[in-house]
């Protein structure tokens, strides 16, 4: 038993070194300036650097829209799948997992082909303005559509795990027997029991949108947060690394907050 515990601590120690050593090296790179010693100038310049606030706000807006759209799409579908067509679960699982096996370059190429085909063939229809509107640089909704597809595998897994832990059929039947309609039964009986799964899906989608670079860069030269970091790194390496470290810390804080909310949710449900 002692040997097993020693082996576990050894594995955890190696895993910790694997993650912490690069992070520590990044922090040292941002604060240790040759000839000046320790300085936090790279961190103090973050908020005043051109494009930081606008790119971060754009990424947060895209993340909020993506989370809302993917949950609005997946939650009713997963509940309906659980209640009415459980045999289709493998099919839906395969479909939702496809974004994991499609290379981002091929995904972007497909989207660009559709965006180029649309204006050429639909220029005399009302849909032409739709193709123009979704590519607005101020809020490129086309990125939201792309991120929804990319987030499907993670959202599906999170919601599937949450639904497996809940007797959805009994909850819906109880709500229906009390006179609730289908939307009311799902909103008041099912969703409160899926808070942890919804938080997990939202956090994974947020992390995906904040860190996604390929689609935003190749699709139309948009500049959300990840693209801004790469563009800054060409001229201000220390600043870009400092922003990456700060974004990683913010992600950890969000993860800890999510774990705390999930823990309180489980404690309340048991009580």
The CATH number covering residue 163 comes to 1.10.3720.10
Give 145's pLDDT tier (boundaries 50, 70, 90). very high
Q: Around Cβ 141, how many Cβ atoms within 10 Å?
A: 15
Residues 230-267 pLDDT 10s:
887 766 778 778 888 887 887 777 667 766 665 555 55
Q: What is the tens place of the pLDDT at every residue in 9-30?
A: 888 888 888 888 888 888 888 8
Query: Residue 32's beta-bridge partner residues?
Result: 38
pLDDT band at residue 2 under the 50/70/90 scheme: low
In the structure encoding, which two tokens stand for residue 231, read together? Answer: 């563009």
Distance in Å from the first CA to the final CA of the chain: 35
Does a structural domain hold residue 216?
yes
Cα-based distances in Å from 168 to 83, 141, 160, 189, 231: 7, 33, 12, 9, 47
Say which residues have a Cβ less than 8 Å from residue 104's Cβ, sequence separation at least 6: 214, 215
Q: What is the pLDDT of residue 263?
A: 59
Domain assignment present for residue 257? The answer is: no
Task: Tell whether 177 is covered by a domain.
Answer: yes
E strand residue ranges, the chain: 32-33, 37-38
* Domains: count for the chain: 1
- Confirm whether 123 is domain-assigned: yes
In a domain, 124, yes or no: yes
Q: Domain residues for 112?
A: 56-223
Residue 38 lies in a domain: no
235: closest CA among 37, 58, 51? 51
pLDDT for the residue 266: 53
Render pLDDT for 29-45 as a digit per residue (tens, 0 to 9): 888 777 777 777 777 88
31 falls within a domain: no
pLDDT (0 to 100) of residue 259:
64
Does a structural domain hold residue 234? no
Cα–Cα distance, 177 to 171 (Å, whole number):
10
């Amino acid at each position: 038993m002692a040997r097993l515990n020693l082996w576990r601590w050894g594995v955890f120690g190696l895993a910790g070194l694997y993650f912490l050593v690069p992070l520590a090296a990044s922090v040292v790179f941002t604060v240790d300036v040759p000839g000046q010693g320790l300085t936090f100038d790279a961190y103090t310049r973050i908020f005043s650097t051109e494009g930081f606030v606008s790119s971060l706000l754009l990424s947060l807006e895209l993340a909020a829209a993506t989370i809302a759209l993917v949950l609005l799409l997946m939650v009713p579908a997963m509940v309906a799948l659980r209640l009415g067509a459980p045999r289709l679960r493998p099919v839906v699982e395969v479909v939702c997992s496809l974004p994991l096996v499609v290379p981002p370059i091929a995904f972007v190429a497909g989207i660009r082909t559709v965006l180029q085909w649309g204006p050429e063939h639909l220029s005399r229809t009302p849909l032409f303005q739709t193709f123009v509107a979704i590519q607005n640089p101020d809020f490129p909704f086309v990125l939201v559509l792309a991120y929804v597809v990319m987030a499907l595998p993670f959202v599906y897994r999170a919601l599937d795990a949450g639904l497996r832990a809940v007797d959805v059929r009994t909850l819906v039947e109880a709500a229906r027997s009390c006179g609730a309609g289908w939307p009311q039964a799902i909103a008041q009986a099912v969703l409160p029991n899926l808070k942890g799964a919804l938080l997990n899906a939202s956090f994974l989608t947020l992390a995906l949108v904040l860190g996604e670079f390929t689609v935003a860069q190749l699709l139309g030269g948009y500049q959300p947060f990840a693209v801004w970091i790469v563009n800054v790194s060409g001229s201000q390496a220390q600043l870009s690394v400092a922003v990456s470290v700060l974004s990683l810390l913010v992600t950890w804080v969000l993860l800890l907050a999510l774990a705390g909310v999930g823990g309180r949710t489980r404690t309340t449900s048991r009580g």
